[in-house]
């Protein structure tokens, strides 16, 4: 950038013009770096906030028991009375190196109580926004319309199906077409005895292994504002490349490059204009 600015502002000095090939080479490097940083946001979000994991199911399917089993403590009230959980319970936990924000929700059913209905609506909304849904079903009972509604909720989502209460009875729900057609991982568990939890943890690790997530030299974007600024900077870099390929005047290319630097300076807090001028003077020994 300093080369370009100097060639524009001090044409009387014998400064080698910036060749298009050299400029494109450097711009391609910058573009690759910005794109990698932009992509790192999803990884950064997981590292910072955890995977938003919503546990959904009908009343008494075992949602609260599952939460307690994972946390290894009695965090949620467990009762045979349907509709005990009316609001969300949220906890952070790390499973096999994967940070999870676990959210236990109200049992999904056609609630008549207004307060419970609000809880059910909230559960549905949270499931729509979740990174991962753990859909739990009572394996001792047959599927009904409310179960089918839950299966429909997870159709387009990252989800794991848990068939709970295998310590009491095994109804082989996994053989039903309604379950198989979801093409989601199916795990049989007992939230009461913790049977099957290790298989659940391994499946989560397989789906969200941080070892497979791309981290660029330890640089990860965790702030949505920073991601947006990086995206804007990258768009200006693309425009600069376009002008170079069109053999446009170098001062037109400089406009886009300076704008990209301005976007990035909003992240770093540096004064781009002053930095560029300082580099020009130090590099070319120009007198003020």
The enclosing domain of 191 has a CATH number of 3.40.50.300
Q: Do 118 and 254 share a structural domain?
A: no
Residue 217 domain-assigned? no
Residue 256 domain-assigned? yes
Predicted confidence at residue 20, as pLDDT, reads: 63
Q: What is the CATH number of the domain that holds 267?
A: 1.20.120.430
Q: Do 116 and 11 share a structural domain?
A: no
Residue 41 CA to residue 264 CA, distance in Å, equals 16
Residue 56 domain-assigned? yes
Predicted confidence at residue 109, as pLDDT, reads: 63
Q: Do 117 and 184 share a structural domain?
A: yes
Write down the residue that tokens 């997870």 correspond to: 154
Q: Do 75 and 186 share a structural domain?
A: yes
Q: Do 117 and 14 share a structural domain?
A: no
For residues 63 and 104, is the Cβ–Cβ distance under 8 A? yes
Q: Do 152 and 36 share a structural domain?
A: no
Last residue of a domain, one of 156, 176, 207: 207
How much is the average pLDDT of 14-19?
A: 46
Residue 199 domain-assigned? yes
Q: Do 170 and 96 share a structural domain?
A: yes
pLDDT tens sequence across 150-208: 999 899 899 999 999 998 877 778 888 999 999 999 999 999 999 999 999 999 988 88
CA distances from 288 to 9, 10, 72, 281 (A): 12, 11, 70, 8
pLDDT for residue 16 is more than 50: no
Residue 105 CA to residue 123 CA, distance in Å, equals 5
b/e 176-191 (16+ beta carbons within 10 angstroms → b):
eeebeebebbbbbbbb
Q: Which of 24-38, 100-114, 127-141, 254-268 is the least confident region?
A: 100-114
Domain that holds residue 7: 2-43+223-284
Looking at the structure of the chain, the number of domains it has is 2
Predicted confidence at residue 270, as pLDDT, reads: 65
Predicted confidence at residue 90, as pLDDT, reads: 86
According to DSSP, residue 247 is labeled: T
Q: Do 100 and 201 share a structural domain?
A: yes
Residue 151 domain-assigned? yes
pLDDT for residue 137 is more than 90: yes
Q: Do 202 and 111 share a structural domain?
A: yes
pLDDT for residue 213 is more than 80: no
User: What mean pLDDT, rounded, does the chain reach?
Assistant: 76
pLDDT for residue 125 is more than 80: yes
Q: List, edge to edge, every strand of the sheet that includes 89-95.
A: 89-95, 98-104, 51-56, 132-138, 159-164, 186-188
Q: Do 187 and 89 share a structural domain?
A: yes
Q: Do 137 and 39 share a structural domain?
A: no
How much is the average pLDDT of 127-136?
A: 91
Residue 183 domain-assigned? yes
| Residue 174, phi then psi, degrees to nearest 5 | -65, -15
pLDDT tens sequence across 46-58: 667 788 899 999 8
Which residues, at least 6 apart from 227, have a Cβ–Cβ distance to it below 8 Å? Answer: 38, 41, 221
Residue 91 CA to residue 158 CA, distance in Å, equals 20
Both tokens of 110, joined, read 């056609």
Rg of the chain in Å (alpha carbons) = 28
Residue 19 domain-assigned? yes
Q: Do 175 and 97 share a structural domain?
A: yes
Last residue of a domain, one of 176, 207, 238: 207
Beta bridge partners of 9: none
Residue 218 domain-assigned? no
């Amino acid at each position: 950038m300093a080369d370009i600015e100097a060639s524009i502002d001090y044409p009387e000095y014998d400064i080698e013009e910036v060749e298009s090939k050299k400029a494109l080479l450097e711009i391609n490097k910058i573009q690759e770096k910005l794109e990698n940083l932009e992509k790192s946001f999803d990884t950064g979000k997981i590292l910072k906030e955890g995977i938003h994991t919503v546990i959904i199911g009908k009343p008494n399917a075992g949602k609260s028991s599952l939460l307690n089993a994972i946390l290894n403590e009695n965090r949620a009230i467990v009762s045979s009375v349907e509709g005990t959980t009316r609001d969300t319970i949220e906890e952070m936990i790390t499973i096999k190196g994967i940070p999870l924000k676990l959210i236990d929700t109200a049992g999904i059913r056609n609630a008549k109580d207004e307060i419970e209905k609000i809880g059910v609506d909230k559960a549905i909304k949270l499931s729509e926004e979740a990174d991962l849904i753990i859909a739990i079903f009572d394996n001792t009972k047959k599927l009904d319309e409310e179960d089918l509604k839950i299966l429909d909720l997870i159709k387009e989502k990252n989800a794991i199906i848990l068939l709970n209460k295998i310590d009491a009875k095994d109804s082989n729900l996994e053989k039903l077409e309604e379950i198989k057609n979801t093409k989601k991982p199916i795990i049989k568990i007992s939230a009461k005895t913790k049977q099957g939890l290790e298989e659940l943890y391994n499946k989560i690790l397989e789906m969200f292994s941080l070892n497979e997530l791309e981290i660029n030299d330890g640089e990860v974007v965790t702030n949505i504002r920073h991601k947006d600024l990086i995206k804007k900077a990258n768009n200006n870099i693309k425009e600069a490349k376009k002008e170079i390929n069109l053999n446009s005047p170098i001062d037109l290319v400089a406009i886009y490059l300076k704008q990209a630097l301005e976007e990035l300076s909003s992240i770093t807090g540096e004064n781009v204009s002053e930095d560029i001028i300082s580099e020009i003077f130090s590099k070319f020994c120009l007198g003020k």
